[in-house]
Amino acid sequence: MPEPTVDDDSPAARTQPASAPSAPRWIAPAALVIALVAAATAGWAALRPAPAPEKPAAEAPSAEDKANACSAFQVVTAAVALQTHGDAGTDPAAIQAVAANARLAMAGGGTYLLAKTGAGTPPELADAIRSFAGSLQDIAINALAGVTNDNPAQAARLHDAEATNAKIAALCK
């Protein structure tokens, strides 16, 4: 007996095996476009120049900043006076130690003054303090380099520092 044949137009031939529904074909290209846009944005963000920082507005002079600067000036003046007038006697090591402390007081004092002079310090006082701090540091580094106080340039630095010291003392009253 002949075997029955299935007609290609029959419903059995037209049905396909059951499979999971597939995603629409546009999802993969859309994901690729989104990834490329994200990569381009990240590259642009990484390579663009940083924005210029805004310059802070000049602060108005304040009594608090003046008081802080004047207090720092008094501390530095006392430290320099104490360390430069120490009595070392005749021992060479003690003489060197006193000189080293004097230089340290001047170098550290200059840095301390600069750090304690705020943006709200009155301009005339701030300028004088910056000048005095620079003078102290110049005197200290030259002394460390072996320049003596009777050297004309060092003597001029000492004279200028004393004049600026007097000016700051008057401004802090």
Contacts 24+ apart (CB under 8 A), 155-160: 160/135
Domain hosting 147: range is 63-172
Does 16 fall in a domain?
no
Does 145 fall in a domain?
yes
The answer to whether 87 and 132 are in contact (CB under 8 A) is no
pLDDT of residue 75: 96
Q: Which of 18-32, 34-48, 110-124, 156-170 has the lowest mean pLDDT?
A: 18-32
Does 146 fall in a domain?
yes
Distance CA 34, CA 39 (A): 9
Does 32 fall in a domain?
no
Q: Which of 95, 79, 106, 100 is nearest to 161 (CA)?
A: 106
Does 11 fall in a domain?
no
What are the tens digits of pLDDT across the range 105-134?
Answer: 999 999 999 999 999 999 999 999 999 999
| Entry pTM | 0.64
Average pLDDT over residues 82-93: 88
Task: Specify the number of domains making up the chain.
Answer: 1
Does 148 fall in a domain?
yes
Average pLDDT over residues 44-53: 79
Give the count of beta carbons closer than 10 Å to the beta carbon of residue 130.
Answer: 16
Which residues lie closer than 8 Å to 84 by C-beta, 6 or more apart? Answer: 102, 105, 106
Does 58 fall in a domain?
no
Q: Which of 130, 80, 88, 89 is nearest to 108 (CA)?
A: 80
